[in-house]
Structure 1
């Protein structure tokens, strides 16, 4: 059975995007934080995206390694992103590229099916998609990268749940700029 990880950058008050889908609050990550994300992505065998996150990622990373000021880590991230298999869950996206397939049906059923397969870990991204996986009890690990900023409203990292989810803290780490990683595994 595959492990399902939900991890994103978020504000201290719990938002992955401020009002209007603004993610400018996160600014460019420190080299250390970017390397951490790259290391995490290298370990993932399948990326699961909702529409909004897919649009954000696919707008930049297919050619991120060709940008004039791309760092070696950004070049590697772009290459890894293109090579990693991806599934986009959307009823409005018409076409996907870069080693990606589109699913327009029941996301929870498909994630459940994918989790039951043999293979490496999967990462789910996007608040709505991850929220559905959370409510279905499919998330095995949360990687919360908290930035020291308050935005007041927007898209929350956590969704309303039907029941409690008990977690075990497995890692904490501090990055430059006061950014803090907390990583939890779901207690089963």
Structure 2
């Protein structure tokens, strides 16, 4: 069975986007944090995206390695992003590219099917999509990169749950700029 990992950058008060889907609060990550995310992505076998995160990622990373001033890590991330198999879950997107396939039906059923298969870990991103996976008990690990900013509202990292989810701390790490990364494993 494949492991499902939900990880994103978020504000200290728990939002992945401020009101109006504003992600400007995060600014560019430190080289060290960016490298951590790159290594995390390279260790994955499949990325699962909700519509909003897909639109954000696909608007930048297909050509991220050709942008003026791209760092070696950004070049590597862009190439890895293009090559990584991806599944996009949306009922409003009509086509996807860059080694991705579109799922318009039941996301929880498809994620359950993918988890039951062989392969490396899967990353899930997008608070709405991940929220459905969390409520279905499918997430095995959480990666939280908390940035030292409060935005007071927006899209929360965690959506409402039907019950408690007990976790075990796996890793804590501090990055330049005051970003604290924590990883938790779901206690089964």
Structure 2-normalised TM-score?
1.00
Shift of residue 130, structure 1, vs aligned partner: 0.1
> What 5-or-longer segments of structure 1 have no aligned partner?
none
CA distance in 1, matches of 2:145, 2:34: 11
Shift of residue 150, structure 1, vs aligned partner: 0.1
CA distance in 1, matches of 2:60, 2:11: 22
CA distance in 2, matches of 1:119, 1:41: 14
> What 5-or-longer segments of structure 2 have no aligned partner?
none
State how many pairs are aligned. Answer: 188
The corresponding residue for 1:133 is 133
Q: Give runs of aligned pairs for residues 4-43 of structure 1, distance below 5 A.
A: 4-43=4-43
CA distance in 1, matches of 2:91, 2:155: 20
Q: CA RMSD in A?
A: 0.3
The corresponding residue for 2:62 is 62
CA distance in 2, matches of 1:127, 1:38: 20
Q: Give runs of aligned pairs for residues 102-181 of structure 1, distance below 5 A.
A: 102-181=102-181
Shift of residue 27, structure 1, vs aligned partner: 0.3
The corresponding residue for 2:89 is 89
CA distance in 2, matches of 1:179, 1:163: 29
CA distance in 1, matches of 2:51, 2:177: 30
Shift of residue 178, structure 1, vs aligned partner: 0.5
**Which runs of structure 1 show a deviation greater than 4 angstroms over 4 or more consecutive aligned residues?**
none
CA distance in 1, matches of 2:179, 2:68: 27
Shift of residue 49, structure 1, vs aligned partner: 0.2
CA offset digits 1:130-175 (Å, max 9, x no partner): 0000000000000000000000000000011101000000000000
Shift of residue 78, structure 1, vs aligned partner: 0.1
The corresponding residue for 2:51 is 51
CA distance in 1, matches of 2:49, 2:131: 12
CA distance in 2, matches of 1:149, 1:108: 32
Shift of residue 98, structure 1, vs aligned partner: 0.4
